[in-house]
Homo-oligomer: A and B are copies of this chain.
Amino acid sequence: MRVLCRIWLDKNGKAFGEGPYNLLKRIEETGSLSRAAKEMGISYKKAWQIINNCERRLGFKLLDKRAGGKKGGGSLVTEEGKNFMKSYEEFRDEIRDFVEKTFQKYFGKDNWSLKN
């Protein structure tokens, strides 16, 4: 047996969670919303809606969209977005560790549940 956990931030609806985080992470790596969307197997439009929805609920910009120049347009994660991602990572990791530890405490090997 194992424990699974899903956490998300909510503000009149989903404001941030693992999906938007993964999308932002790929935008950071590729510098491009369309490449990030392709990597995740979602449409450009869908990716844009995800980011837009988060920005609206969080109340600040996550992406800085550059108009196309010689090398075409690109997207950069804003400073505020980077700070937010870092906070989210630490927040999520602390919770994951605690959930695993608490699962072991109640349902782990030395506990009654595996005797059944």
Contacts and interface: CB of A to CB of B under 8 A. Distances in A.
A106 B16 CA distance: 14
A87 interface: yes
Interface in A1-54: 1-11, 15
Nearest to A93: B102
Interface of A: 1-11, 15, 58-60, 80, 83-84, 87-88, 90-91, 94-95, 98-99, 102-103, 105-107, 111-113, 116
Copies in the complex: 2
A8 B15 contact: no
For the complex of A and B, list the 8 residue pairs with the smallest distance between their C-beta atoms, beginning with the closest.
A91-B106, A60-B116, A1-B11, A6-B6, A98-B98, A5-B7, A87-B106, A4-B10
